Structure 1
């Protein structure tokens, strides 16, 4: 229980481009393995959890196939292992290695969806991110945009090489945080009394718990694959990497 009271240090925010780290095991359970710090981003906000592996002291490698926050203590992050956790003990020091290609694709697409928010002026009601595509659902009864317009504007913003920064704010300064976020389906990401805000050079500013690239140019060329009507008030916009 003592270990479970200690939050996992989110290295994925501090060093989003780092690919390896060392950590100590806090807990082992049917939920997976909890560490004192990790680069593995946990599933949330439409972004899948990271994958990779652990290198154990005796030299063997264990695959990490998923990562999620504890449902009762969100500051604790569980790592699910392919072959269970029988070889891992509390207090053990291990090395974690990200599947970097998998993570970086998510970073690029998540940032691209923020660019899409700056183009479509409507509340977001749903989000999904994959390594090759992503989509947003908008609360928009009638669509006033088309694929050609979105394609042109998105790639224009990517080519503008806009810097992306993140800031942490106390939650008491963002009691009305919904006023600056387009997302209406989920609550703003608050952790340990702080809200993380992602800013794309003043173009788009919103609370977000996901991982992002540092410049829009890293997103690369994208295309608007389709625009669909999902119910009376929902329009789904799906993007793909070109």
Structure 2
């Protein structure tokens, strides 16, 4: 399978495709992977499939065993037939908000340099769970530090390393609950900042904005007690 479009060009909003299969549950698989499939705490993309003057709303996308995105219709209805040439269209505003939140959560793991035990992303908000026995002493200072990083407008880039290289550098993995996907022989790293301005580098398969300034202002929400050793830190986009 070719590199998914959601990874090679996360700013692509639509794409031509051909339907290659249907699933028993009524999902659609295409030869172009525009829709991000649910994984790593990030929701699957939603949007539409258009063909022959028809439009099929897509509620979400999940990953097939082959790695392809299964597009899940919002309601049971006629599907584009196998072999049909279609246009895939994202709910771009929702995807872009996922990108902004996901990148902001990477920065949250910088201002709170503790092991991450869980996380979740929504369209406009997100949270990370940390191995944090005591709540932070100054929540306002954390929020300011997070927004200061965002305001630096740092570039967000990627590169790939082998699984052996990751094994030799276990400190790259911040998340205790979600491990990088393995089996393909290589692992994608997301880097924030370059050279002396680099602030973060960690394995991640999700979609991100190209510069931190695109995130916009972020508010720190509730810091919840999730057990003796865990705290949940919530964030939300201002707009």
Is the structural similarity TM-score above 0.5?
yes
3-state secondary structure, aligned to 1:62: strand
Q: Please name the residue that 1:24 is paired with.
A: 18
How do 1:207-222 and structure 2 match up within 5 A?
207-222=203-218
**Unaligned 5+ runs, structure 2:** none
TM-score of the pair, normalised by structure 1: 0.91
Query: What is the CA–CA distance in structure 1 between the aligned matches of 2:138 and 2:128, rounded to whole Å?
Result: 15
Q: Please name the residue that 2:41 is paired with.
A: 46
**Unaligned 5+ runs, structure 1:** 1-6
How do 1:1-242 and structure 2 match up within 5 A?
7=1, 9-31=3-25, 32-56=27-51, 58-70=52-64, 73-84=65-76, 86-176=78-168, 178-190=170-182, 192-201=184-193, 202-242=198-238
Q: Indicate how the Cα distance of structure 1 residues 145 and 36 shifts in structure 2: closer, same or farther if over 3 A, else same.
A: farther
Query: What is the CA–CA distance in structure 2 between the aligned matches of 1:102 and 1:36, rounded to whole Å?
Result: 23
Q: CA deviation at 1:35?
A: 1.2
After TM superposition, the structure 1 stretch with the greater mean CA deviation from structure 2, 104-113 or 33-42, is: 33-42
Query: What is the CA–CA distance in structure 2 between the aligned matches of 1:221 and 1:237, rounded to whole Å?
Result: 16
4+ runs of 1 displaced by more than 4 Å?
Answer: none
Q: CA deviation at 1:191?
A: 6.1
CA displacement 1:51-79 (0-9 Å, x = unmatched)? 000011x1111011110012xx2512211
Q: CA deviation at 1:89?
A: 1.8
After TM superposition, the structure 1 stretch with the greater mean CA deviation from structure 2, 105-114 or 219-228, is: 219-228
Indicate if the aligned counterparts of 2:117 and 2:177 stay in contact, CA closer than 8 A: yes
Query: What is the CA–CA distance in structure 2 between the aligned matches of 1:26 and 1:170, rounded to whole Å?
Result: 31
Query: What is the CA–CA distance in structure 2 between the aligned matches of 1:81 and 1:172, rounded to whole Å?
Result: 39
3-state secondary structure, aligned to 1:232: coil
TM-score of the pair, normalised by structure 2: 0.92
